[in-house]
Structure 1
Amino acid sequence: MSGPGSDDLILHHYGSSPFAEKARLMLGFKGLAWHSVTVPMVQPKPDVAALTGGYRRTPFLQIGADIHCDTALIAELLEELRPTPSLFPAAVAGQARVLAQWAGLDLFWTALPYAMQPAGAAALFAGAPPEMLQDFVADRRAMTEGMPRLSGADATAALSQYLAWLAAMLDDGRPWLLGGEASIADFSVYHPLWFVTRTGPLAEIFAPHPVLREWMARVAAVGHGERAGKLDGAQAIALARASTPKPAVVEAGQGFEAGDAVTVTPSDYARDAVAGTLVGLNARSVTVARDDDRAGRVHVHFPRIRYIVKKAAG
């Protein structure tokens, strides 16, 4: 099997990541082939840092020397690459985007503490060395420093309500959350719930909602597309070095100029700033150019929503 070219899709992910599951399903929905790079669950991540400049969330999507961060931006990119079937059907596009935004914030940050209660964590890390769970918990605490944390009881109460709300959307017999067509809303709502289904006895929270389980089976049946091959981090870095980033444009009226030294920082968690030269900016995305000793010149792309762009100090 030949290696990837500079236009091929490379997903950097690991198997149990909920957001990576969302990305895999979107690739399957679009019927796209992609290469796989497995990244570590916890820091340190030197190969990731070489490509992203310090952004540490999973997953990200590489195309040559262009690195696309955050599943919200990945969804927009996949829509451009293959417009049909659409993640944003015209009749429900606005609703789909809003529901997806809610799912990535409120639903995810309710599902995660629910799932990581002792019984759930034991199921998720069954068979793993005890230190793996300890490292994971310590890593995620560092990622979420300063964020409020729900107790198990609070998360259980909230998730129970959220599941009832979602089930009510499906009670009229519709196959997908917003009607007759799948959308970004389905994949965004699915991935935190997929994580909960893997928590052994805690997955019983779905028992009152068989219609929700049936919907989840439909989403899972979409599949992950075609895995064209596996790479390691060094191979992905070498491909970036051998590639040329695609041109980007800084639009007028955005408050910055092309060539500005900037940082881009997530506003919610894993607030690791990525520094670079501004080469692309509009209302939807921001792109910085970076020069890395291993990866060479790369363009790192982020969404504008939930990311803070600042001129670099000095």
Structure 2
Amino acid sequence: MHDLILHHYPMSPFAEKARLMLGHKGLVWHSVHIPAVMPKPDVVALTGGYRKTPLLQIGADIYCDTALIADVLEHREPEPPLFPAHARGLSRTVAQWADSSLFWASMGYTLSPKGAAAMFASRPAGEGQAFASDRAAMRQNMTLLRPADATSAYRSYLRRLASMLDDQPFLLGEVPCIADFAAYHPLWFTRTLNPGLASILDATPDVLEWMDRLAAIGHGRSERLSSADALGIAHAATPEPIGPDVSFQDDHGIALGSLVSIAAEAFGTETSEGLLRAATRTRYTIERQDERAGTVHVHFPRVGYVLREVRA
């Protein structure tokens, strides 16, 4: 069984979600630090174009998006579960809301002009502008909340989270689940990366106590690995075979083996191209070749991603 390799950078909120899920499972993993902004040549060598953070690498299999990473970790180590038996559908639904509506309200507040100026005040000259330009490119054609509207939404969402914590330590019960990790990371970004704006959390002390409980879980045990070594591991490995019993859900009229592109629906819409090797109920898998990474399988969740056939 290949080791778990997380490609991430410390200030990434979605990476914090993945790190906490690894800690929740008590897993050992390798940590590869990647750039926060483009260019990301080693990331693109693995994915073919997808550049969002984090990625989970297992040998020559590359898993994109924390929604899919959660499923992979659950399969790898079922206990303790990320998806509680009594609320599997609810936990996924809350997580999807947190990764979208809550996340963008948090970002609109935390990275408002005032917030961004505070966050990058002590960083090297030009870093803030480079970050802003990079994220603007990733948000092309997205409709964003204005800072005042984001602030209002963020306050409302925090109150909703607080009401879920009225009589229980975690959002859906006595133990944390995917809903908690998804709701936590946008708030972590505000509290940890821009503490000057963290006072918005003070009106919901139950939420702050819940955040402390989640932070105490930690990130498991990790060891640093260079990006070059991770590419070498991919090159030396063979993607896990897709068994004949894996069902094919054809919603597009695109045959397996076709050259396709896959991209996120909205944020970070860079495409990855490859041969379609699987399209199950929950994920797509493409096979691609790279001089440095070798033959890899890149996996995406169905929800939130667009599949298209590439015609000559």
Which TM-score band (shorter chain)?
Answer: over 0.9
- Please state how far the C-alpha of 1:220 moved relative to its aligned partner: 0.5
Q: Residue 43 of structure 1: which of 31, 38, 43 is its match?
A: 38
Q: Is the 8 A contact 2:248 2:278 kept in 1?
A: no
**1:217 aligned partner, one-letter code:** D
What does the per-residue CA deviation read over 1:45-98, in whole Å, with 9 as the maximum and x for residues that have no partner? 001110011100000000111000000000000000000100001001111000
Q: Is the 8 A contact 2:249 2:281 kept in 1?
A: no
Where do 1:57-76 residues align within 5 Å? 57-76=52-71
What is the match of residue 224 of structure 2?
230
Runs (5+) with no aligned partner, structure 2: none
In structure 2, what is the Cα distance between the partners aligned to 1:9 and 1:142?
30
Q: Which SS does the other structure have where 1:197 is aligned?
A: helix
What does the per-residue CA deviation read over 1:135-166, in whole Å, with 9 as the maximum and x for residues that have no partner? 00000000001101211111111101000111
Q: Does 1:214 align with 2:209?
A: yes
In structure 1, what is the Cα distance between the partners aligned to 2:130 and 2:154?
26
- Please state how far the C-alpha of 1:126 moved relative to its aligned partner: 4.1
Of the structure 1 ranges 23-32 and 118-127, higher mean CA displacement relative to structure 2 is found in 118-127
**2:305 aligned partner, one-letter code:** Y
What is the match of residue 248 of structure 1?
242
Q: Is the 8 A contact 1:111 1:155 kept in 2?
A: yes
Q: Does 1:189 align with 2:221?
A: no
Where do 1:1-314 residues align within 5 Å? 7-172=2-167, 174-198=168-192, 199-227=194-222, 229-248=223-242, 251-254=247-250, 255-314=253-312
In structure 2, what is the Cα distance between the partners aligned to 1:142 and 1:240?
29
- Please state how far the C-alpha of 1:129 moved relative to its aligned partner: 1.3
In structure 2, what is the Cα distance between the partners aligned to 1:82 and 1:253?
26
Runs of 4+ in structure 1 off by over 4 angstroms are none
Aligned residues: 307
In structure 1, what is the Cα distance between the partners aligned to 2:169 and 2:41?
43
Structure 2 CA distance for partners of 1:248 and 1:126, relative to 1, 3 Å: farther
**2:224 aligned partner, one-letter code:** K
Runs (5+) with no aligned partner, structure 1: 1-5
In structure 2, what is the Cα distance between the partners aligned to 1:217 and 1:7?
32
> Sequence identity of aligned pairs in percent?
51
Of the structure 1 ranges 202-211 and 8-17, higher mean CA displacement relative to structure 2 is found in 202-211
Q: Is the 8 A contact 1:284 1:304 kept in 2?
A: yes
Q: Is the 8 A contact 1:258 1:278 kept in 2?
A: yes
- Please state how far the C-alpha of 1:277 moved relative to its aligned partner: 0.4
**1:67 aligned partner, one-letter code:** I
Q: Which SS does the other structure have where 1:12 is aligned?
A: strand
In structure 1, what is the Cα distance between the partners aligned to 2:220 and 2:110?
27
Structure 2 CA distance for partners of 1:151 and 1:110, relative to 1, 3 Å: same
